[in-house]
Structure 1
């Protein structure tokens, strides 16, 4: 009888130890899962804070020597566009976003018309009526260099809003200035440089 009691006690003790060990392992697994979830959440927060950047190389069109690059950066609700170009004739040159991200034609006609998802008249940015692609003019110096910084909350990089998403659009620089009144494109002349936002 005494041996039976000792055997039962030993069995109960073994089961108790095994149960504690399982509970400890489950706690460790739960703790590891929580740590991983917190890490994933932390990474998502960090990714949301990091700006999205797209670098658009600009190629010569219509027999010009214009080249350069445009960098689009989205941080928060704003997209900033930084333009650096060389090879332009001295003076004002229109710059627009066009509906097609296609620079295959020699004259960049493959880029289509201005990007105008809300079907408005062409005009100056900030006026009551203007295309989402109506950026305006940039000024080239005597050496043919031009730069421009432009920011807006009316664009986004890769979002689901097709009235704001600039990915897949063409960037066109023209031979002349935009007069902001002629329809549909401001009488800006030949397309001397083209790039694609991708």
Structure 2
């Protein structure tokens, strides 16, 4: 157990360092004055609310944030999908990952990532979890195109490499982005 906790701590430390700028400060993206924002209310296939996702224009990209509650404990893939539809029971109406740059899936894939690839969402035993990530080069105008976009949470962890979806399993929650 101690080894698992140590490895988890090392992994979190590496992620924290990777998200820092040259001064050692966390790089969360500087908000754009008057920048666009969109929100997606997340729900299960039965319609139970399980949190919200937001997308905010920041300098050089879009910051995505997920605040989840009432979700199954564990690690879950979290992705922006290219169609703004969340039809139950399996949310396949949301289409594939948002990928305007035509890359392969995953931040660990030398030919990736999709712009819709986010870090895994870790849900604690209390059913809560939060992530935030800036996707460089992404735009809210691209996200909120004619067919919209959706945030999808998957049943299992994303391996951050396997195309097209990181072997992250079924879709267990979904929300359509709406400009706010």
Shared fold per TM-score greater than 0.5: yes
Greater helix share, 1 or 2?
Answer: 1
Q: Contact 2:103–2:111 (CA<8 Å) still a contact in 1?
A: no
CA gap of 1:77–1:110, structure 2 versus 1, over 3 A, is same
**Structure 2: where are the runs of 5+ without partners?**
1-31
| Rg larger for | 1
Cα distance per residue 1:122-163 (max 9 Å; x no partner): 1227854221111130111111101011112321112xxxxx
In the TM superposition, what is the alpha-carbon distance from 1:75 to its structure 2 partner? 3.4
In the TM superposition, what is the alpha-carbon distance from 1:184 to its structure 2 partner? 1.5
SS in 2 for 1:185: coil
Alignment equivalent of 1:83, drawn from 66, 80, 97: 66
2:152 matches 1:176 = no
2:100 matches 1:117 = yes
How many residue pairs are counted as aligned between the two chains?
Answer: 144
Report the TM-score when normalising by structure 1. Answer: 0.65
Cα distance per residue 1:146-196 (max 9 Å; x no partner): 1011112321112xxxxxx11111110001000123321111111111111
Query: What's the RMSD between the two structures over aligned residues?
Result: 2.1
Alignment equivalent of 2:35, drawn from 46, 51, 54: 51
The equivalences for 1:17-56 within 5 A come to: 49-56=33-40
Q: Contact 1:82–1:150 (CA<8 Å) still a contact in 2?
A: yes
CA gap of 1:186–1:145, structure 2 versus 1, over 3 A, is same
SS in 2 for 1:134: coil
**Structure 1: where are the runs of 5+ without partners?**
1-47, 159-164
SS in 2 for 1:110: helix
Q: Contact 1:66–1:85 (CA<8 Å) still a contact in 2?
A: no
The equivalent of 1:191 in structure 2 is 171
Q: Contact 1:111–1:170 (CA<8 Å) still a contact in 2?
A: yes
Report the TM-score when normalising by structure 2. Answer: 0.71
Alignment equivalent of 2:122, drawn from 110, 116, 139: 139
Q: Which has the higher contact order (CA 8 A, sep 6+)?
A: 2
